[in-house]
Amino acid sequence: MGEKVTRKYFGTDGIRGRVGEGNITPDFALKLGWAAGRVLGEGRGGKVLIGKDTRISGYMFESALEAGLVAAGMDIRLLGPMPTPAIAYLTRTLRGVAGIVISASHNPYQDNGLKFFSANGDKLPDEVESAIEREFDQPLQTVGPAQLGKVRRMEDARGRYIEFCKSTISATMSLRGLKLVVDCANGATYHVAPDVFEELGAQVVAMGDEPDGLNINRRVGSTSPGALMETVVRKDADLGMAFDGDGDRVLMADRDGNLIDGDQLLYIIAKSRLEQRCLEGEVVGTLMSNLGLEHALRELGVGFVRTQVGDRYIMERLKRDGGILGGEPSGHIICRDRTSTGDGIVVALQVLTAMKNADRELGDLAGEMRKYPQRLINIQMDEQRDIIGLPEVQDAVGSAERELGESGRVLLRPSGTEPLIRVMVEGVDEAQVTSVANRLADVVRARIAG
């Protein structure tokens, strides 16, 4: 592991915030487009793809990025509203030098963000982001009139991506006879996901498919799965799936309306890959992955490792160790043998494949993984302080771990974005888990107050 690179603008998942505040402004996007064009084009120009989700501010940032990139001599392909993984895929297949996503993923419409993909459809390396930041701080100089970039709207982006999604499963697999509820979160999958599943033969009940620029993720999608769960039961569907605003996450619901989270989906895909003898390496989760996932995989003889929270760290570990599957409880799952980034539609298709191969329903497959009771308590602080390292807190953690034994887990971690300490306890017995979590939280609160 090399030294951690400190960046001024880029976070672990691009640049994100409230529209009109901080760096989420059109003048910042224009300068960032220019700086990125200078670094990525290396003075020779090249093609950059720009896609966005459905939030109203996307128009503004698309225009600003376009102006900056053209000023740096870069050609542009405008994709319009498209899922984040579609932009990664199209960047790779169209031999672009980079792809840019304008999205704040599962956040409300008031937020937006900018995320870059490399020519390979991966996230930009730290050193490239650092180079863009250094260039950003230089005066903006436009290339000569004859070297200015050209802009073209890519009319067939949607169709290309739909065909790619279908190509990730067997050409002979049909979804005929299945009734599916597809919740698009009023986001980027609204004109893609329903067609993918309909073209494969399913009867689709679409919801969250009428974006107006302001309703992305509002009471629908993977951040509000209650709407999906209720609709599956009301429509007597076989199952449902809910994407987030930019389409890189998915949660599902079985025919009884029970929510199937990312840990359970990851288990289903891993077991299916194992049975098909195409599972490579260990499965990668995060510090927040349910202990039940780890134990269920262990019973299958499958290794499981944890990383920091964030798909960036999951991908790094998969690449390092040659693994193909990783994910988070939120439904951000990477099937590296199918695509280069988290992709909600592709993940849903892998789960449906597992169901077809096993000839079993979603609820039955998910039920093979026992989710351990989990209690998460967020404790506010006035400012970021190292509370976790204090001897009294460490003693309390040790006591909690001894009480839970090998059938439980304790995790204390600071929030990366807020002055919060997150106390998480898992175990076999729900009453014990709640009691241990409350006692541990009381110790943390006392140290913050004292």
Positions annotated as catalytic residues are 105
d(CA 85, CA 209): 18
Supply 78's token pair: 């405008």
Neighbours of 219 (CB within 10 A): 12
* Cβ atoms of residues 257 and 275 within 8 Å: no
Neighbours of 136 (CB within 10 A): 18
Supply 346's token pair: 């592709």
Q: Could you say which DSSP state residue 224 is in? A: S
* Cβ atoms of residues 267 and 296 within 8 Å: yes
Provide the CA 434 distance to its chain's centre, in angstroms.
Answer: 29
Strand, coil or helix: what is 223?
A: coil
Provide the CA 307 distance to its chain's centre, in angstroms.
Answer: 15
d(CA 434, CA 441): 10
The one-letter amino acid at 39: V
How many Cα atoms within 13 Å fall on the side-chain side of residue 389?
3
Q: Could you say which DSSP state residue 406 is in? A: G
d(CA 48, CA 66): 9
